[in-house]
Amino acid sequence: MTTKYSYFPGCSLKGIGRAYEESLLPVLRALDVELEELEDWNCCGATAYMAIDEVKACVLASRNLAMAEKLGHKELVAPCSACYLVLNKTKHYLQDSPAVRGVIEKALAEVNMTYSGNTPVRHPLDVMIHSIGLDAIKQRVKRPLTGLKVAPYYGCQIVRPYSTFDDQYNPTTMDRLLEAIGCTIVHFPLKTRCCGASLTGTLPEPGLLCARDILAEAITRGADLIATVCPLCQFNLDGYHDKIAKKWGPHRIPTVYFTQLMGLAFGLGERELGLHRGFVPMQPLPAPVPVGVGV
Amino acid sequence: MSKPKVAFYWCASCGGCEETVVDLAEDILGVVEKVDIVLWPVAMDFKYKDIEAMPDKSITATFLNGAIRSTEQEEMARMLRRKSVFLIAYGACAHTGGIPALANQFPREQILKFNYEDAPTLVPGEKTRPQLSCTEDGRTVTLPQLHNVVRALDQVVDVDYYVPGCPPTPKITRAAVDALLSGNLPPKGTVIGPDHALCEECERKDTKPDKWDFVEFKRPHQKLMDEKCFLAQGVVCMGPATRAGCEAACTSGGMPCTGCFGGTSRVRDQGAKILSSICSNLAAKEEDEIDKTLAGIPDPVGTFYRYGLAKSILRRKLNLPSNP
Amino acid sequence: MKIERTIKYEADRVKGFGDEVSSVPGCEKLQACIQCGTCSGVCPLSIYMDYSPRQVMAMVRSDFKNEVLTSHTVWLCASCYQCTVDCPREIRITDIMYELKQRALQEGIYPKKFSIPVLAKEFYKMVYRYGRVSENLLAMTMFLKSSPLEALKMWRLGLGLILRGRFPLTLEKIKRRDELGRMMKVVDQVKINKLHDELKQARQHVAARSQA
Amino acid sequence: MDKPSKQTVRIGFYICHCGSNIAAMVDCPAVARFVGTLPHVVLSRDYKYMCSDPGQELIQKDISEHQLNRVVVASCSPLLHEHTFRGAVEAGGLNPFFFHMVNIREHDSWVHTDPAEATAKAKELAHAAIMRVAMHKALEVKKVPVHPDVLVVGGGIAGIHAALTLANAGKKVFLVEREPSIGGHMAQFDKTFPTLDCAACILTPKMSAVGTHPNITLLSYSEVTKLDGYVGNYTATVKRKPRYISEDKCTGCQECIANCVYKEPKFPDEFNEGLGKRKPVYIPFPQATPQVVVIDPQTCLNFRNGELTGKCKKSCVAACGDKEAIDFSQTETFQELKVGTVIVTTGFQAFDAKRMPQYGYGKFPNVYTALEIERLVNTSGPTAGHVVLRDGKTEPRSIGIIHCVGSRDKKTNRWCSRVCCMFSLKLAHLLKEHTGAEVYNFYIDMRAPGKGYEEFYDKLLEEGVHFIRGRVGEVTDWARTPDEEGKLVIRVEDTLAGYVRRIPFDMVVLATGLEPHADAQDVRRMLNMSCGSEGFFLERHPKLAPVSTFTEGIFLAGCCQGPRDIPDTVAQAGAAAAEALALIDKGFIEQEPNTAFILEDECCGCKSCIPLCPYTAITFDAANKKAVINEALCKGCGTCVAACPSGTIVQNLFDDEEIFSEIEGVLAHE
Amino acid sequence: MSNEWQPRIVAFFCNWCTYTAADLAGVSRLKYASNTRVIRLMCSGRVDPQFILDALAKGADAVLIGGCHPFDCHYAEGNYKCLRRFQLLKRMLMDMGIEAGRLRLEWISAAEGEKVKRVINELTETVRQLGPLGIPQQFAEWDKEMEQFAAHVEAGEALKTPCAEHAPTQEPAHV
């Protein structure tokens, strides 16, 4: 039976992070999960907006939350880490600060909306591990990615500051997920270290150094590629290789969404999964090993 | 020496107390022999003006039953107080407010509205309310007015002795009369009757277990074992918090004690004490469980203050809307 | 060699600044800082900062407002929340950094020609106008406003994005754009000072509750 | 002495300034003037220090000069000085219970900020006391004999010292220790700071003294499971765990160990923090007391999952021979002890370093806890004092010691563990001495406030140990520079130099803090003690009664009350022993006469009260059909009094009428 | 001290936990509202519902009971007995027209000086919101309906008719 969730894509998944959406939706569909996109959603109010006005950021987020609640599915899925955090942070403010809550309620009332604070906001990784479950995922694998060595990179905002579904210091949900589809996980100490994405555009050096450190460590640890859960991380680790090379020498290693890897394992096509959209292309996979044919 | 003058009077009450006097049966004759009854509305015809005309303190003792509910009752109470040497609050209503005092949970207007407008036994739509005064054929008839608050007798006038019970038993009545006649009087303010709780004289006392541990409360109609302590069966019985003296009439008749004799002299609020005792002995420990068990006492005020609301510490429901 | 005085006189302080910041929800625990340096130790960007996060905490607490608001540190914070998670005093350092960014923008005190505040402002405007952000357009605007030369250097990246279909040429907009405007107006109507008072009360309430 | 009738009640009222503690907030003369106007008050005074000798003498003098028969003192908490003033009243010739105390310091002047409000409150509280004291009755203090034997719970240095002190004073002591040997944490230490004398050298003589002392009964491998009774008359139930060795028969020859079917030690050795190995039959450490081996049913082949199977060939039994000390049939037994007082010295547990994943303990083999290092540098330790990494051969060339692990952190433990700075310095010294490595200490604040401690810190600075003020952010194996490769990198802000630094190390030592035992709450409940919010046992008063608890006759010493070092622990153990001695030598306890009694004639025998008493002090007299309270068992909680539906139970000192008067008094003013 | 109405709260604290916690609050110099008057009992189990009713009837605006935490009672289970009475008493008080917020039971251990401060401040604030309970004033108000008679009696006048004289002034008719 198909399970339905509300879906908040966020701006990036419509732009630089298109491949994330392109891979996420079919993978979930293969797992009998349907995402229904919020009608007329707006920017979540993420990082840069928070710098201007935190209360307004919360108000922005609350409009989305209110619409999600109205849509009636029990939970809201937000794949972008920044959106995920801001939506959750808004929920925390609503709970902890009657003043902020008051402002939000007034602003929502202005446009005839209400939000009771009930709709949980979840990351696709959380949904896959804790709601769909590894067994169901394993059953869907047609082409195990055996031999593919992956550096699992979680980035910051899905584990911090709230520890919602995984360990803050050593998250393992993606490790387990990728192992389930056949990948080999390399020991990766920089799993949750900041990729610098929010700075790369404005202060290239610090931002790029953060990215370089992650790329370099993944290469050192013998990974074939980096798997990520956030469109901003993906862009930052993937889009600036020439600049990084200019400063610190080449660090070429592809960065893909974990959903793209799952799609491959489920037997979906590379183009279908948006793999052509990366700057550093992923090496072709070894010939598929037929499953369940009694090899 | 002339015979002592005795008066009986009847305020807000059911009349049962008056019956008790009659219930003295043969004894009544003995009493009548020894006293002059100057006022006894239930049995003889006397006029107010006769009493009014009597000099102050000319009545030796007045047995007044019933709560003070109306202006007329208040006036009579005050007048009889003036005319009597001893004023005796006779019966639960005069003693602690009695059943009429349960009205202290409601505003007067609500009571009048129900009784004269909304009660299902009334002619629909008629909504006739009695007038305080009415002039017809050039003559004005007046009616007393209800007070907002129902009071025990001693909340209106000074009381010398109390004879508890709803109604007082003949035995206790007799004891009071004898005390008066013999002149062997207890200290002023004494409640005539033993000063221990009812269990002492209850037949079911021996069946009481050492541990109660209430897990649920039952109503008296739920198949109960005869002879066994009501509390042991989970039925609220006011016996432990109620003054003895009735010879356990109710419990031997198959009903739990409802507390008409009031608390002992050491207790200021009978309802609070039985509440304390019963709740202390619940089995539950968690708030939810406690509430679940206590849901078996849906009306604590009506249960614990059936006869004593007027004389309870709080006396009346607070913050009731006052009358227009 | 340019030599500046480094001693601070009382007149250099903006008294009350520290108290003001720590009365904002999320910033309350600032006063509890023990200057252990964990925040700086875990911060991935601290290597580029002119003042370490620990120093910023001390400076805010001691009312060195101008020094803090002109420091690079505030703008280098990438919101990774590592310091917030690791702080032994449960100070929400990232949120304090947000608060400082907001104050810098409100007061117009921030490093000149520094593109991060520009980005933040443009981001804000774009959301206000369209309800969503078109990242590439945003980046272009930002470079044009801060350093046009940088924008030219970015052409290769832009082209790459267009080729990979990651640079939508249409502008993302929401349908009911008026709604956002009206909502923001409501927020503006709530007087900021009054809000702060309420927030302060709320904070005490929350603190009291969390102790329970 | 009979209660005077209301007309003859003559009350003296005294309000104490307590220096400025009260007077700065409460207008004491105004309160005194006000109270002077109340009925029955014969005189009303304010005075600087009522608890001083002149203050007490003033009361005594007034009692005789003004024929006072009631006294009220408004000053500090009755928990502090009620006893003092009752004494003064008694010395003045009155029954001591014709006294009531008003707390206007802890409950008023110290907690309020408006002098007018504080003064008004003081007046109301005083008024209540005046009304209450008028109702007071003369009461007799009951004297109960004190059993002279003492129970000491926990055999670390605190328990050992307390037991020896009492035993040397001729008292019988039961020392209960849950491990197979006494010695506690101190036995694991190598050297002690700041003198660097060997821990074993100072501890083991005391341990063997315990083992041989005629006045001490040592119950090792045992736990107290229940404590009944009251001060002077406790009954403790002790669970004796089976060690499968008869303590009477074992001579400590250890032949059984040598002949165990396991030729080599195979199982992690608790005493060495798992760094060494032991056999299933073992003696925890060479100087263990008692010198009796123990068999671990989890690892012994004669058991499976702790259940006896008899499947081993039992070479140990053969080796024991005629001594027949090995007894596989042993089971848990329980023993009851009668004692008068109890000293609780249950110690601490070290913080579990895995709770701070950023420091990598359990993930990186060369991250150690401080206790592991204690064993590593110890010559009788698993490596014979040779400091090597976990690979068993490499000597560390660089060592980083991280302070405050699990201390001063709201996410773990908020408190400062007090000893970590000093043991870190000690370990820095020992590690440098053993290896010549570069040693770094990472600290937040250096806390060296004991005798000779600062001097020790000086010495370390001069020895060339590095000190970096900064709490370490993380320990990682992520190398950014070539010289970091293969090392553990510490990332930290050097807050004094103002730089964020990355420093590579071969070995990282975590100075783990001290915290209450995981089962401290159970112990606390069993012994009816209180805990502070952090979980350490609570002393009655931090300054005036630091080793007493809120339960009479139960005393505390050592780290179960809070982190402390060995000198402080020993001092406290001595103090606890002295408190117990004082009770024993006095020979009796004066019991507060706040017991309840039932008015015999009035009781109707409803039995409402009987199940309410947790001490079964209320019984039903079947002949009279009335309930009766056994005053000796009553502890004076008053629960039955509140529940008696006919008001027939009376509690001395907390009589209904006394409390009603107090209620009336506090509400007497608009 | 301001002249405006101040809430009056009577607190019953058990000797072992809450009273000690209040002492700790003092030793720690915590500051809290001065409206609470503490009456020390040995155990929260000693709190007789009569005390609570009596305090309210004598003019308290609220009653606070402080006892040891569950399982921590110095007398094993006195606090449970208190809790059970409290649950029904609170319901009964509501039936009698007294807001639930005026009766509060808190478990406060000897270490929780901060909680004493918080609870007292919260309760003071709650009561401030609720306003005065004023039972003594209500008693006086109720008894006014009898004053007229009393005056007549004082004056030694007999009333000619039972109520004609006063009825119109008090209430025109039961309409």
Question: Taking a contact as any Cβ pair under 8 Å apart, which residues of chain D between 599 and 658 contact chain B?
Answer: 599, 601-608, 610-612, 620, 625, 639, 642-648, 656
Q: Is position C209 within any domain?
A: no
- Distance to chain A for D355, nearest Cα, Å: 11
Domain that holds residue C101: 13-108
SS3 letters for chain B? CCCCEEEEEECECCCHHHHHHHHCCHHHHHHHHHCEEEECCCCCCCCHHHHHHCCCCCEEEEEEECEEEEHHHHHHHHHHHHHEEEEEEECHHHHHCCHHHHHHHCCHHHHHHHHHHHCCCCCCCCCCCCCCEEEECCEEEECCCEEEEEECHHHCCCCCEEECCCCCCHHHHHHHHHHHHHCCCCCCCCECCCCCEHHHHCCCHHHCCCCCCECCCECCCCCCCCCCCCHHHCECCCHHHCECCCCCHHHHCCCCCCCCCCCCCCCCCHHHHHHHHHHHCECCCCHHHHHHHHCCCCCHHHHHCCCCCCCCCCCCCCCCCCCC
Q: Which pLDDT does position D391 carry in this prediction?
A: 93
Weakest-pLDDT range from A91-95, D68-72, D402-406: A91-95
Measured in degrees and rounded to the nearest 5, phi and psi for residue C100 equal: -65, -40
Confidence class for position E160, pLDDT limits 50, 70, 90 = very low
Q: Is the pLDDT of residue C82 over 70?
A: yes
Q: Are D313 and D253 in contact (CB under 8 A)?
A: no
Q: What percent of chain D has pLDDT over 90?
A: 89
Domains of chain A: 3-122 (1.20.1050.140), 142-277 (3.40.50.11810)
CB contact under 8 A, E164 and B140: yes
Q: How much is the average pLDDT of A235-259? A: 93
* Nearest by Cα to D256 from D167, D328, D158: D328
Q: Which pLDDT does position A281 carry in this prediction?
A: 87
Confidence class for position E152, pLDDT limits 50, 70, 90 = low
Q: Which pLDDT does position B35 carry in this prediction?
A: 87
The residue whose two tokens read 């356990």 is: B248
Confidence class for position D241, pLDDT limits 50, 70, 90 = very high
Q: Which two tokens stand for residue D571?
A: 């001092």
- Distance to chain A for D370, nearest Cα, Å: 23
Q: Which residues of chain B have pLDDT under 70?
A: 1, 25-26, 322-324
Q: Is the pLDDT of residue A293 over 50?
A: no
Q: What is the DSSP string of D306-346?
A: TEE---S--HHHHHHGGG--B-TT---EEEEEEESEEEE--
Q: Is position C193 within any domain?
A: no
Q: Which pLDDT does position E171 carry in this prediction?
A: 39
Task: Name the pTM for this structure.
Answer: 0.79
Q: Is position C165 within any domain?
A: yes
Give the amino acid at A148.
L
Question: Taking a contact as any Cβ pair under 8 Å apart, which residues of chain D between 466 and 485 contact chain A?
Answer: 476-480
Same domain membership, residue C119 and residue C75: no
Q: Are D273 and D188 in contact (CB under 8 A)?
A: yes
Among candidates D357, D477, D479 on the partner chain, residue whose Cβ is nearest the Cβ of A170: D357
Q: How far is CA C212 from CA C25, C30, E44, E86, E114, in A?
A: 19, 21, 20, 21, 10
Give the whole-angstrom CA distance, residue B6 versus residue B46.
13
Same domain membership, residue C133 and residue C83: no
CATH architecture, domain E9-133: 3-Layer(aba) Sandwich (3.40)
Among candidates D116, D533, D660 on the partner chain, residue whose Cβ is nearest the Cβ of E112: D533
**Domain boundary residue, one of C108, C141, C163:** C108
Confidence class for position E163, pLDDT limits 50, 70, 90 = very low
Q: Which pLDDT does position A30 carry in this prediction?
A: 94
Q: C79: which DSSP letter?
A: -
pLDDT in tens, D323-366: 999 999 999 999 999 999 999 999 999 999 999 999 999 999 99
Same domain membership, residue C93 and residue C137: no
**Domain boundary residue, one of C108, C133, C159:** C108
CB contact under 8 A, C41 and D500: yes
CA angle centred on D32, ends D29 and D33, rounded to 5°: 85
Which chain B residues contact residue D644 at CB under 8 A? Answer: 273, 277
Give the whole-angstrom CA distance, residue A57 versus residue A65.
12
- Enumerate neighbours of D (3 or more CB pairs within 8 A): A, B, C, E
Query: Which chain E residue has the Cα nearest residue D132?
Result: E39
The helix-helix angle for A98-110 and C192-211 (nearest 10°) equals: 130
Same domain membership, residue C96 and residue C122: no
Which chain D residues contact residue E8 at CB under 8 A? Answer: 667
pLDDT in tens, A131-166: 999 999 999 999 999 989 999 999 998 999 988 899
- Distance to chain B for E18, nearest Cα, Å: 20
Give the whole-angstrom CA distance, residue E170 versus residue D502.
90
Q: Which of helix, strand or coil describes residue D75?
A: strand
Q: Is the pLDDT of residue A188 over 90?
A: yes
CB-based contact (8 Å) between B251 and chain D? no
Q: How much is the average pLDDT of A288-294? A: 49
Report the residue of D363, D478, D484, D488 to disrupt the A interface, i.e. the one with the largest count of A CBs within 10 Å: D478
Element (H, E) at A91: helix A81-96
Q: Which of helix, strand or coil describes residue C104?
A: helix
Q: How much is the average pLDDT of C170-186? A: 82
Give the whole-angstrom CA distance, residue A96 versus residue A62.
15
* Nearest by Cα to D258 from D320, D310, D330: D320
Measured in degrees and rounded to the nearest 5, phi and psi for residue B11 equal: -100, -135
Q: How far is CA E35 from the centre of its chain?
A: 12
Q: How much is the average pLDDT of A167-183? A: 94
Q: Are D459 and D409 in contact (CB under 8 A)?
A: no
Q: What percent of chain A has pLDDT over 70?
A: 95
| CATH number, domain with residue C23 | 1.10.1060.10
- Distance to chain B for D626, nearest Cα, Å: 9
Question: Taking a contact as any Cβ pair under 8 Å apart, which residues of chain A between 147 and 186 contact chain D?
Answer: 167, 169-170
Same domain membership, residue C102 and residue C18: yes
Weakest-pLDDT range from C47-51, C145-149, D433-437, D488-492: C145-149
Q: Is position C2 within any domain?
A: no
Q: Is the pLDDT of residue A196 over 80?
A: yes
Confidence class for position A295, pLDDT limits 50, 70, 90 = very low
Same domain membership, residue C120 and residue C93: no
D5 compared with D83, residue with greater pLDDT? D83
Query: Which chain C residue has the Cα nearest residue A271?
Result: C164
Same domain membership, residue C66 and residue C32: yes
Q: Which pLDDT does position D46 carry in this prediction?
A: 95
Q: Is position C31 within any domain?
A: yes
Give the amino acid at E14.
C
Q: D249: which DSSP letter?
A: T
Q: Which pLDDT does position B136 carry in this prediction?
A: 84
Q: Is the pLDDT of residue D320 over 60?
A: yes
Give the whole-angstrom CA distance, residue B63 versus residue B107.
30
Q: Which two tokens stand for residue A71?
A: 């849509």
Confidence class for position D160, pLDDT limits 50, 70, 90 = very high
Give the whole-angstrom CA distance, residue A226 versus residue A148.
11
Same domain membership, residue C94 and residue C22: yes
Ramachandran class of D325: left when φ > 0, alpha when ψ lies in -120 to 50, beta otherwise: alpha
Confidence class for position D301, pLDDT limits 50, 70, 90 = very high
Q: Are D32 and D167 in contact (CB under 8 A)?
A: no
Q: Which residues are registered as beta bridge partners of E36? A: E9
- Distance to chain A for D486, nearest Cα, Å: 12
Mean pLDDT over the full length of chain E:
86
Among candidates E10, E30, E71 on the partner chain, residue whose Cβ is nearest the Cβ of D525: E71
Which chain A residues contact residue D473 at CB under 8 A? Answer: none
Confidence class for position C209, pLDDT limits 50, 70, 90 = low
Q: Is the pLDDT of residue E88 over 60?
A: yes
Among candidates D404, D411, D471 on the partner chain, residue whose Cβ is nearest the Cβ of C41: D471
Q: Do chains A and C touch (3 or more CB pairs under 8 A)?
A: yes
Count of structural domains within chain C: 2
- Distance to chain B for E57, nearest Cα, Å: 6
CB contact under 8 A, C88 and D410: yes
- Distance to chain E for B159, nearest Cα, Å: 16
Confidence class for position A45, pLDDT limits 50, 70, 90 = confident
Element (H, E) at A152: strand A149-153
pLDDT in tens, D26-79: 999 999 999 999 999 999 999 999 999 999 999 999 999 999 999 999 999 998
Same domain membership, residue C27 and residue C87: yes
Q: Is position C199 within any domain?
A: no
Give the amino acid at D97.
F
Give the whole-angstrom CA distance, residue D386 versus residue D382.
9
Within a 13 Å sphere around the CA of B259, how many CA atoms are in the beta-carbon half? 32
CB-based contact (8 Å) between E21 and chain B? no
Q: Is E66 exposed, middle or buried (0-12, 13-18, 19+ CB in 10 A)?
A: buried
pLDDT in tens, D194-240: 999 999 999 999 999 999 999 999 999 999 999 988 889 999 999 99
Q: Which two tokens stand for residue D545?
A: 């009664």
Same domain membership, residue C135 and residue C91: no
Same domain membership, residue C152 and residue C78: no
Q: Is D670 exposed, middle or buried (0-12, 13-18, 19+ CB in 10 A)?
A: exposed
- Distance to chain D for E164, nearest Cα, Å: 38
The helix-helix angle for C135-146 and C155-163 (nearest 10°) equals: 170
CB contact under 8 A, C47 and D500: yes
Give the whole-angstrom CA distance, residue D481 versus residue A241.
21
Which part of chain E has CATH 3.40.50?
9-133
Q: Which two tokens stand for residue A200?
A: 């790369």
Same domain membership, residue C69 and residue C156: no
Q: Which two tokens stand for residue B156?
A: 């209106």
CB contact under 8 A, B239 and D606: yes
Q: Do chains A and E touch (3 or more CB pairs under 8 A)?
A: no
SS3 letters for chain E? CCCCCCCCEEEEEECCCHHHHHHHHHHCCCCCCCCEEEEEECCHHHCCHHHHHHHHHCCCCEEEEEECCCCCECCECHHHHHHHHHHHHHHHHHHCCCCHHHEEEEECCCCCHHHHHHHHHHHHHHHHHHCCCCHHHHHHHHHHHHHHHHHHHHCCCCCCCCCCCCHHHHCCCCC
Q: Which residues are registered as beta bridge partners of B134? A: B141
- Enumerate neighbours of A (3 or more CB pairs within 8 A): C, D
CB contact under 8 A, D528 and E59: no
CB contact under 8 A, D478 and A217: yes
CB-based contact (8 Å) between C116 and chain A? yes
Which chain A residues contact residue C99 at CB under 8 A? Answer: 54
Which chain C residues contact residue D358 at CB under 8 A? Answer: 42, 86
Give the whole-angstrom CA distance, residue B256 versus residue C47.
83
- Distance to chain E for B173, nearest Cα, Å: 30
- Return the CA Rg of chain B: 22
Element (H, E) at D235: strand D233-240
Residues 6+ apart with CB under 8 A from A270: A264, A276
pLDDT in tens, D613-650: 988 899 999 899 999 999 888 989 999 999 999 999 99
Which chain E residues contact residue C208 at CB under 8 A? Answer: 118, 121-122
Q: Is the pLDDT of residue E162 over 50?
A: no
